[in-house]
């Protein structure tokens, strides 16, 4: 639908208004889809490999960024600048429809995990209805709050790297936009494998240890970020961006498994999705804007470094409160919930 929107010349201010509306709908859909995708895999996975398998949906954004870069680079190379701005950009949105049909097919083909079917049946028998987000918040207010804080640091870092870095490199470091796009293209490929490694490592050393390692790395990296961007060397710039994304992946990769092991099956979808999306809204979505305003108002990068380090410390404190869940059986999580809450 975005690819079919009339331009400003045709419908005036209705064009950007419709674009914002479609983006809102898209975000709403992604918010629901993330929980379903990662929890479906997590509930089908054996406990000893749950971190690795559940990290695949986590890495999907990297693949999406890579595919988008390839399509946009191809279109801009084949078309003139005028043709690309006139209609060529729409082709990228139309091609994304292929992914929609693939996702729909997967959704229709994969069955719910047995543990979910069992939990849903039990909820219907005992409560006559499925558990809601309100139930999850009432039963696990502490876990929900600290799980949100757990995401704040890595989510802030991620959006600063993938959004703010592009502006900083093109406007302040004076790099050609094509060079910046190529650097981010390589970095996204690197992060895809880093994300899978993060999930794998969490199966070996534990969810908390892996995430703590990632945040410790990000705390050091925050002070290397701008020296790398200002180095004038494309290799150094790529290196500092990849280093940040690597440590971010150690924090983010295990989260799908971690959140699935924190909440019981009856509340897992609502609880995990709420933690994930609220953190994105309050941390990641505003991070590029905050970094831009800090740079503008203070005229230097020091406040941005403090901002990044502060969010990382906040997430480390939240991690210290949460429990380790590696190798836990989801049936054990459900039994503990039943013993405590009786439903």
- Per-residue pLDDT at 211: 98
* 21-35, 152-166, 250-264: segment of lowest average pLDDT: 21-35
Could you please report the per-residue DSSP string of 298-329? HSSSHHHHHHHHHHHHHHHHHHHHSPP-TT--
Give me the CATH topology for the region 14-68+132-341. Answer: Growth Hormone; Chain: A; (1.20.1250)
Q: Are 246 and 190 in contact (CB under 8 A)?
A: yes
**What residues have CB less than 8 Å from 141, skipping those under 6 apart?**
none
How many angstroms separate the CA atoms of 259 and 269, rounded? 9
How many angstroms separate the CA atoms of 9 and 326, rounded? 56
Q: Around 172, how many Cα atoms within 13 Å sit in the side-chain half-sphere?
A: 17
Q: Is the pLDDT of residue 240 over 90?
A: yes
pLDDT tens for residues 207-224? 999 999 999 999 999 999
* 14-23, 184-193, 232-241: segment of lowest average pLDDT: 14-23
- Per-residue pLDDT at 31: 66
- Per-residue pLDDT at 223: 97
As a whole-number percent, the residues of the chain with pLDDT over 90 amount to 49
- Rounded to 5°, the CA angle 308-311-314 comes to 150
Q: Tokens standing for 83? A: 């043709």
DSSP state of 212: H
CB atoms within 10 A of CB 260: 28
- Per-residue pLDDT at 304: 98
Q: Around 56, how many Cα atoms within 13 Å sit in the side-chain half-sphere?
A: 11
Q: Are 219 and 207 in contact (CB under 8 A)?
A: no
Q: Residue 242 to residues 17, 173, 225, 247, 302: CA-CA distances in angstroms?
A: 36, 18, 11, 9, 21
- Which of 71-75, 141-145, 239-243, 274-278 tops mean pLDDT? 239-243
Smallest CA-to-CA distance from 38 within 52, 62, 57 is with: 57
Q: What is the mean pLDDT of the chain?
A: 87
Q: At what angle do helices 60-78 and 50-58 cross, to 10 degrees?
A: 30
Q: Are 38 and 50 in contact (CB under 8 A)?
A: no
């Amino acid at each position: 639908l975005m690819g079919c929107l009339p331009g400003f010349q045709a419908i005036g201010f209705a064009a950007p208004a419709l674009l914002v509306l479609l983006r809102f709908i898209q975000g709403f859909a992604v918010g629901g889809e993330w929980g379903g995708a990662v929890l479906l895999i997590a509930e089908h996975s054996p406990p000893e490999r749950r971190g690795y398998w559940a990290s695949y949906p986590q890495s999907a954004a990297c693949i999406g960024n890579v595919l988008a870069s390839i399509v946009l680079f191809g279109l801009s190379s084949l078309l003139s600048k005028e043709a690309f701005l006139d209609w060529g950009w729409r082709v990228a949105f139309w091609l994304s429809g292929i992914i929609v049909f693939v996702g729909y097919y997967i959704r229709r083909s994969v069955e719910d995990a047995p543990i979910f079917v069992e939990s849903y049946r039990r909820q219907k028998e005992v409560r006559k209805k499925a558990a809601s987000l309100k139930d999850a918040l009432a039963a696990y207010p502490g876990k929900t709050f600290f799980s949100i804080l757990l995401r704040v640091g890595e989510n802030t870092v991620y959006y600063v790297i993938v959004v703010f870095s592009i502006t900083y490199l093109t406007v302040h470091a004076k790099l050609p936009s094509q060079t910046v796009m190529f650097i981010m293209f390589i970095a996204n490929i690197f992060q895809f494998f880093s994300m899978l490694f993060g999930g794998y490592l969490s199966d070996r050393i534990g969810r908390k240890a892996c995430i703590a390692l990632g945040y410790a790395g990000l705390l050091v990296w925050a002070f290397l970020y701008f020296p790398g961007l200002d180095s004038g060397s494309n290799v150094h710039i790529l290196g500092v961006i990849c280093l940040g994304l690597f440590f971010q992946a150690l924090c983010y990769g295990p989260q799908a498994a971690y959140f699935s092991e924190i909440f019981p099956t009856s509340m897992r979808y609502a609880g995990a999705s709420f933690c994930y999306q609220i953190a994105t809204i309050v941390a990641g979505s505003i991070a590029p804007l905050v970094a831009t305003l800090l740079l503008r108002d203070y005229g230097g990068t020091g406040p941005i470094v403090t901002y990044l380090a502060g969010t990382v410390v906040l997430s480390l404190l939240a991690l210290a409160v949460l429990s380790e869940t590696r190798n836990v059986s989801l049936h054990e999580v459900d039994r503990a919930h039943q013993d405590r809450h009786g439903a």
